[in-house]
A and B are shown apart, each in its own frame.
Chain A
Amino acid sequence: MIFNTPVFLFLFLPVALALFFFVPRKYKTVFLVLASIAFYTWGEGELIILLLLSVFFNYIAGLLLERYNNQAAGRFILIAAVLLNIGGLVFYKYTGFLAENLNIILSALDIPAITINPIYFPLGISFFTFQALSYLYDVYREVAPAEHNPVKAALYMTFFPKLISGPIIRYSDMKEQMDAGIQVSTTDVYEGLKRFITGLAKKVIIADNLALYANQVFSETTNELSAVSVWAGIVVYGLQMYYDFSGYTDMAIGAGRMFGFRLPENFNFPYAASSVTDFWRRWHMSLSFWFRDYFYTPVSLILARKWNAQTSIGISVFLAFVTIGLWHGAAWKFVVFGLIHATFIMWEMTRGNKYISRLWKPLQHFYAIAVILISTVFFRANDLTHAFAYLKQMFAGGFAAGQYNITMLPLTLVITVGGFILAMPWTLPAEKYLLRTSEKNSIFRMGYHSVLTVFLYLLLLVSLVFVAASGFSPFIYFQF
Chain B
Amino acid sequence: MEKLLSEVTEVYRRVLKDPNLVLSPDSTADDVDGWDSLNHTILMAEVQKHFQIKFALKEVIKFKNVGDMLELIHQKISNRQQ
Residues of A bordering B, CB below 8 Å: 75, 140-143, 292-293, 296-298, 300-302, 304-305, 308-310, 312-313, 316-317, 349
Residue pair B58, A296 in contact (C-beta under 8 Å): no
Q: Determine how close the nearest CB of chain A comes to the CB of B77; give it in whole angstroms.
A: 19
CA distance A302 to B62 in the complex (A): 14
CA distance A312 to B61 in the complex (A): 16
CA distance A310 to B41 in the complex (A): 8
Within 8 A of A (CB), among B31-61: 37-38, 40-42, 44-46, 54, 57-58, 60-61
With contacts A301-B44, A309-B42 taken as known, whether A292 is within 8 angstroms of B37 at the C-beta atoms is yes
Q: Which of B41, B42, B62 contacts A143 (CB 8 A)?
A: B62
Could you say which of B38, B46, B62 has the most chain A C-beta atoms within 10 Å of its C-beta?
B38
Q: Which of A141, A142, A309 contacts B45 (CB 8 A)?
A: A309
Q: Determine how close the nearest CB of chain B comes to the CB of A320; give it in whole angstroms.
A: 10
Q: Which residues of A contact B38 (CB under 8 A)?
A: 313, 317, 349
Decide if the interface of chain B is mainly helix, strand, loop or mixed. helix
Residue of A nearest to B44 (CB): A301
Q: Which of A142, A293, A305, A308 contacts B62 (CB 8 A)?
A: A142
Q: Which residues of B contact A292 (CB under 8 A)?
A: 37
Residue of A nearest to B63 (CB): A141
25 A-B pairs, CB-CB below 8 angstroms? A140-B58, A141-B58, A141-B61, A141-B62, A142-B62, A292-B37, A293-B37, A296-B37, A297-B40, A297-B41, A297-B61, A298-B57, A301-B41, A301-B61, A304-B41, A305-B54, A305-B57, A309-B42, A309-B46, A310-B42, A312-B45, A313-B38, A313-B41, A313-B42, A317-B38
CA distance A140 to B60 in the complex (A): 12
Closest 3 pairs (CB-CB, A-B): A309-B45, A300-B41, A309-B42
With contacts A143-B62, A309-B42, A309-B45 taken as known, whether A302 is within 8 angstroms of B57 at the C-beta atoms is yes
Given A141-B62, A312-B45, A349-B38, output 6 extra A-B contacts at Cβ < 8 Å: A297-B41, A298-B57, A301-B44, A301-B57, A302-B57, A310-B42
Residue pair A298, B61 in contact (C-beta under 8 Å): yes
CA distance A257 to B80 in the complex (A): 53
Residue of B nearest to A292 (CB): B37
Residue of B nearest to A302 (CB): B57
Residue of A nearest to B59 (CB): A141
Residue pair A304, B44 in contact (C-beta under 8 Å): yes
Q: Which residues of B contact A75 (CB under 8 A)?
A: 58
Using an 8 Å CB-CB cutoff, how does the interface string of B60-71 with A read, 1 for contact, 0 for none? 111000000000
Q: Which residues of A contact B37 (CB under 8 A)?
A: 292-293, 296-297
Q: Which residues of B contact A143 (CB under 8 A)?
A: 62
Q: Which residues of B contact A313 (CB under 8 A)?
A: 38, 41-42
Residue pair A312, B62 in contact (C-beta under 8 Å): no
Q: Determine how close the nearest CB of chain B comes to the CB of A342; give it in whole angstroms.
A: 12
Q: Which residues of A contact B58 (CB under 8 A)?
A: 75, 140-141
Q: Which residues of B contact A316 (CB under 8 A)?
A: 41
Q: Which residues of B contact A308 (CB under 8 A)?
A: 45
Q: Which residues of A contact B40 (CB under 8 A)?
A: 297
CA distance A302 to B40 in the complex (A): 13
CA distance A298 to B41 in the complex (A): 9
